[in-house]
Amino acid sequence: MVILFDRFNLSDDVYEVIFATEQQRVVSKLLVEELKLHNGELTKTEMGLFAARLHSGFVTEIDEPAYRGKKVKLSYNKRQFYDRILTPMKGMGMVDYDLYRKTYALSDKLSKALTSIGLLWLQEMRRKPHLLK
């Protein structure tokens, strides 16, 4: 996944920086909240149940200005949840999957990856120029 951002107009909401649509932001926030409710970790079965609940639709409150304080019926396609939310979050290091325990867990690897990208940029800036032939 590619993250493009404008450092002069950087949002205070990490979900706005990472996800393109409002619906993706809402669903990713719900996933993180679900993980937090389970001490930062969901089994593969629990994740499947969460995705199925999203697919069938459920009533919830959303922490978005337009919906604040209102009950909203939210549904999101199960396949799109895995393709557009969970897989990118795993790829970026926001969520980790333990293959042996079969659990999904919140992770700080995104922060570490962004730090290393910053260090790579500093190395590139300091590198001596070489002529292209």
pLDDT for 63 beyond 80: no
Q: Whole-prediction pTM value?
A: 0.88
68 or 44, greater pLDDT: 44
pLDDT for 30 beyond 80: yes
pLDDT for 127 beyond 80: yes
Query: How far apart (Å, rounded) are the C-alpha atoms in residues 67 and 57?
Result: 17
Q: What is the mean pLDDT of residues 10-38?
A: 93
DSSP 8-state code for residue 59: E
CA angle 24, 94, 102 (to 5 degrees): 105
pLDDT for 75 beyond 90: yes
Q: What share of the chain is helix, strand, coil (3-state, %, to 5)?
A: 55, 15, 35
H or E element at residue 67? none
What does the mean pLDDT of the chain come to? 92
At 100-122, the pLDDT tens digits run 999 999 999 999 999 999 999 99
CATH architecture label of 7-108:
Orthogonal Bundle (1.10)
Query: How far apart (Å, rounded) are the C-alpha atoms in residues 100 and 84?
Result: 24
What local confidence, expressed as pLDDT, does residue 122 receive?
96
At 31-54, the pLDDT tens digits run 999 999 999 999 999 999 999 999
What local confidence, expressed as pLDDT, does residue 5 receive?
82
Q: Which of 4-13, 74-83, 97-106 has the lowest mean pLDDT?
A: 4-13
Q: Say whether 18 sits in a helix, a strand or coil.
A: helix
